[in-house]
């Protein structure tokens, strides 16, 4: 089973600052890595798929990078609505089994 580790657990930043979130896989997941945003009381929202592709309607300030075991989600300039929990997620090649990372909370400093 592939385990995802996210760091930091909490990121305290101010609006306008740059956020850099890390996701590390216990073995290579190629580029099968997605990022989701979840606000309190809401369902997760897909941000990034296949490591670096922005989902429909996602602002350009969100970007993803990486391959293999190390991935990064970057928010170039935090907007007030970006303070939330962010999860990475991977899929194993076969069988298609999915796992999520434990999440990174981005809160207001």
Those residues with Cβ within 8 angstroms of residue 87's Cβ, 6 or more apart along the chain or in another chain: 6, 35, 36, 38, 44, 100, 101, 102, 103, 104
| Segment near other proteins (CB under 8 A); pick from 11-19, 20-28, 70-78, 97-105 | 97-105
As measured in angstroms, the least distance from the Cβ of 98 to other proteins is 4
Q: Is 96 in the site for other proteins (CB under 8 A)?
A: yes
Q: What angle do CA 85, 30, 53 make, to 5 degrees?
A: 55
- Reported in sequence order, the residue ranges of 18-84 that DSSP labels E, i.e. its strands, are 19-25, 33-38, 45-49, 53-54, 62-67, 70-75
Please pick, from the candidates 2, 17, 24, 38, the single residue that binds other proteins as defined by CB under 8 A: 38
Per-residue x/- marks for other proteins, 42-81, CB under 8 A?
Answer: xxxxx--xx----x--------------------------
Binding site for other proteins (CB under 8 A): 1, 32-34, 36, 38, 42-46, 49-50, 55, 87, 89-91, 95-103
């Amino acid at each position: 089973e592939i385990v995802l580790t996210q760091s930091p657990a909490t990121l305290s930043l101010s609006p306008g600052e740059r956020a850099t979130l890390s996701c590390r896989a216990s073995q290579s997941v190629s580029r099968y890595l997605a990022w989701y945003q979840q606000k309190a009381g809401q369902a997760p929202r897909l941000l990034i798929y296949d490591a670096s592709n922005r989902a429909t309607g996602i602002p350009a300030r969100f970007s993803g990078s990486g391959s293999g075991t190390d991935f990064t989600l970057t928010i170039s300039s935090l907007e007030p609505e970006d303070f939330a929990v962010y999860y990475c997620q991977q899929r194993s090649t076969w069988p298609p089994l999915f796992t999520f990372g434990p999440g990174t909370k981005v809160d207001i400093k």
